[in-house]
Amino acid sequence: MTNLRERRRLRTAETIRRAAVVLVHAKGLDHVTAEMISDAAGVSPRTFFNYFPYKEAALMPPPPVFSEAAIARFIAGQGILLDDLVDLLGPIFDEIGEDRDYVRMTHEISLSNPKLQVLRNSTFHEFEGLIAGLISRRLGADSHSTALHMAALVSASIKVGFQTWVEQKSGSAADAILAKIRDAKTIFDV
């Protein structure tokens, strides 16, 4: 359970992110400053820079956080690896899409700006590395190449699942994303 200070920190970061997305969606990235975002979020520029090193960083989602217990369950898992991975990832995708319009705005912004595309790709690459590390820990020392391959397939499935959800008018992001991950078992059986 997070303490009060951590909850406040998460809430402030989310307030800044939302202000950044609304402003950039309305005005364009090049016409928005960190000071404008700070003002819209009701924080000082100093506070903004305590949370984000530059304005583009405020437009990226927070990194996923897995509990130590969830990581331990995944690494010790004896079931089908992909099913256990879906169980690990499910909770982080449940939060996506609670505000579909906001998520759609973030997606449109990231696709419309080359700087943000690079930052988004870097974020996905880091996430892919995290997943590869967890898979490698589960499979053992000689599995690094296999873990990288699996993580790349999962990462691609997440991207396709998210894109599918963005284009839909209903359904949850978690359902769309996790369905694409599950499809990785049989996608080549055509």
Q: Report yes or no on 189 lying in a domain.
A: no
> Given a cut of 80, is residue 5 above it in pLDDT?
yes
What's the CATH number where 158 sits? 1.10.357.10
What's the CATH number where 24 sits? 1.10.10.60
Are residue 46 and residue 79 in the same domain, yes or no?
A: no
pLDDT at residue 189 in the model: 79
pLDDT at residue 16 in the model: 97
Measured CA to CA, the distance from residue 88 to residue 90 in angstroms comes to: 6
- For 103, residues 6+ apart whose C-beta sits below 8 A from its C-beta are 96, 97, 166, 173
Are residue 123 and residue 171 in the same domain, yes or no?
A: yes
Q: How many domains does the chain have?
A: 2
Instruction: Give the model confidence (pLDDT) of 50-93 as tens digits.
Output: 999 999 999 998 888 899 999 999 999 999 999 999 999 999 88
- The pTM (predicted TM-score) of the whole model is 0.85
Q: What b/e string do you get for 134-143 counting C-beta neighbours within 10 Å, with b at 16 or more?
A: bbbebeeeeb
pLDDT at residue 65 in the model: 86
Q: Report yes or no on 94 lying in a domain.
A: yes
Instruction: Give the model confidence (pLDDT) of 109-161 as tens digits.
Output: 988 889 899 998 998 899 999 999 999 999 997 889 999 999 999 999 999 99
pLDDT at residue 97 in the model: 67
For 32, phi and psi rounded to 5 degrees? -120, 135
Six-digit token pair at 50? 């305590």
| Residue 2 pLDDT level (bands cut at 50, 70, 90) | low
pLDDT at residue 64 in the model: 86
Where in the sequence is the domain holding 132, given as residue range(s)?
68-183
User: Cα 21–23–29 angle (5° rounding)?
Assistant: 85
Are residue 20 and residue 80 in the same domain, yes or no?
A: no
pLDDT at residue 167 in the model: 85
